Amino acid sequence: MPEEPPVEIGLGNTHPLTGGLGSPWQHTLATAVEQSGVGLHSGIHTTVRLCPASVHQGRFFVRVDLPGQPVIPARVSALHETQLSTELAIAAATVRTVEHLLAALAGLGVDNVRIEINGPEVPLLDGSARLWVEAIAQAGLACQSAARSCYELDAPLWVQDGDAFVVGMPASELRFTYGIDFDLEAIGNQWQSWSPSQMPFQSAIAPARTFGLADQIEQLQRAGLIKGGSLDNALVCGTQGWINPPLRFSNEPVRHKLLDLVGDISLVGLFPQAHITAYKASHRLHTAFAHQLSSRIDQQSKCTMDG
């Protein structure tokens, strides 16, 4: 086993390999921290409290507003809906738009955390994962005494729908790559790649905000969606360009899609050693790939135990 790192790790501008995600050890939060805000689709105001959790507990939600405080694991087994966000459910208990918070937790290497929420949807905050990262930094990371699970992808794995796809390829290190292609000139064709060993999640990916197209807003509102959306928590693009600039990155839209992918893949429970590439994908394709990856890991683990 590798030498155990320091018990507590602050984030700040620390290189990712000296923090949680680059460590072979599991991590939790050093203390509890809260964030409150409005849900993107429901418009409901909720409070989320992130609390330390024991080794091997993983990331899990607790609906503290419901009788019995039901637990919803942040795993593919709890996937429920993927229309314009990722929703988890156990029986009648649900929690929606989990992807930004999960991306922040997984991207910073928080393996075990109790996520208490008093409503059905995680707050959108500023539309990115930046405020979640700041909250996690405020809490600090605590190294735990159990080794982190690992998995090396040894053969290609993919899901596809038309020209949209998510594919995983064997690689020497973890890397995510994303491509998008929109007819709107302000967005167009964009690509972004992120490897934890090369750039910090908190500065390269977390600040990228969710975005929408101006000509789709009315349709989404009629469908009962984006009740909590505003120009303060989402970028909006029209035929003449961005309605609420400036952008935080020249390719902020594709960085946000990569953020969503990180959050959705975190539902596997670990990041594989692989290069995961997505093109024109959606939460549905992200989570379909997560299902495939989780199944392969389970099958190979079973073969190893049987062998």
Which residues belong to the active site? 283
CB 128, CB 208: distance < 8 Å:
yes
Peptide bond into 246 cis (omega under 30): yes
Distance CA 43, CA 173 (A): 39
Q: For residue 27, which phi and psi values (nearest 5 degrees)?
A: -135, 150
Q: Pairing state of beta strands 235-238 and 211-213?
A: parallel
Length of the chain in residues, anyone?
307
Q: Is 96 left (phi over 0), alpha (psi -120 to 50) or beta?
A: beta
Distance CA 250, CA 210 (A): 14
Which run of H or of E encompasses 201?
A: helix 201-204
CB 100, CB 205: distance < 8 Å:
no
Provide the sign of the torsion angle of the four alpha carbons 45, 132, 108, 236, taken in this order. positive
Percent helix, percent strand, percent coil in the chain, to nearest 5: 25, 30, 45
Which residue, chain included where needed, has tokens 């609906």?
Answer: 63
Please give the DSSP secondary-structure letter assigned to residue 260.
H
